[in-house]
Amino acid sequence: MFEKPFYNFLYSLFVVLITAAFCSYFNGAAMNGFYPQIKVSEFTPPNIYFSVVWGVLYILLVLAFDLVLNSEKKQLVRPAATIFILNMFLQVLWCFVFFYNAQFLAGFTVLVILDVVTLMMIYMFYRIRKLAGLMLIPYFLWLMFATFLNWAVVELNGTAFIM
């Protein structure tokens, strides 16, 4: 994308940090609002684990995206960057729908779409730089776990939290 690799790294960092900031804001609203009142799966880890895991995953996302942006396979970079931005948007949208608006079934729907887009992103990244694709596997596995937990919330609480 950019001529200088350092600018690609800054761009990767910026995109992921913006995503993390929005997601953190929406999550925080839920933790201080409805979330403590709902039933969750017995497999839901304590809240502190989510911060740690997401911290690691965001680092992997920055590094994988940076590897792709600095690839010599220029014809593949723009579509991969587009799917990455879409992925980050869907991540924010899920946090907004599920955590900020307490719409559990709609959140599950967004999360399933995010899962599919993530698989596409892994495939595209792997074609450009194998390591970049492999670095996204923990992210995908965590999203699958989140999908399971989101569905459990739907099953235990209904489609939405009524305030």
Rounded Cα–Cα distance for residues 112 and 21 (Å): 22
The average pLDDT across 18-30 equals 97
Domain that holds residue 17: 5-33+46-157
Residue 136 lies in a domain: yes
Structure confidence at residue 7 as a pLDDT band (50, 70, 90): very high
Residue 23 lies in a domain: yes
For residues 32-43, average pLDDT: 96
The answer to whether residue 162 is domain-embedded is no
| CATH code of the domain containing 65 | 1.20.1260
Give the pLDDT score at 22. 98
Q: Which of 141, 136, 144 is nearest to 63 (CA)?
A: 136
Helix axes 74-95, 47-69, angle to 10 degrees: 160
Name the band, by pLDDT with cuts 50, 70 and 90, for residue 163: low
Domain total of the chain: 1
For residue range 61-120, what is the model confidence (pLDDT) as tens digits?
A: 999 999 999 999 999 999 999 999 999 999 999 999 999 999 999 999 999 999 999 999
What interhelical angle do 74-95 and 104-128 show, nearest 10? 160
Residue 111 domain flag: yes
Look at the block and give the residue holding tokens 């991969």.
80
128 within some domain: yes
Mean pLDDT is lowest, of 1-10, 59-68, 98-107, 138-147, for 1-10
Domain membership of residue 40 (yes or no) is no
> What's the rounded mean pLDDT across residues 125-150?
98
The verdict on residue 41 lying in a domain is no
pTM: 0.95
| Residue 162, pLDDT above cutoff 90 | no
Taking a C-beta distance cutoff of 8 angstroms, is the pair 117, 87 a contact?
Answer: yes
For residue 9, give every residue at least 6 positions away whose Cβ sits within 8 Å of its Cβ, in sequence order, or none.
Answer: 62, 66
Tell me: pLDDT of 3 over 90. Answer: no
> Which residues are paired to 160 by β-bridges?
103
In-domain check, residue 163: no
At residue 159, the pLDDT reads: 96
Structure confidence at residue 2 (pLDDT): 80
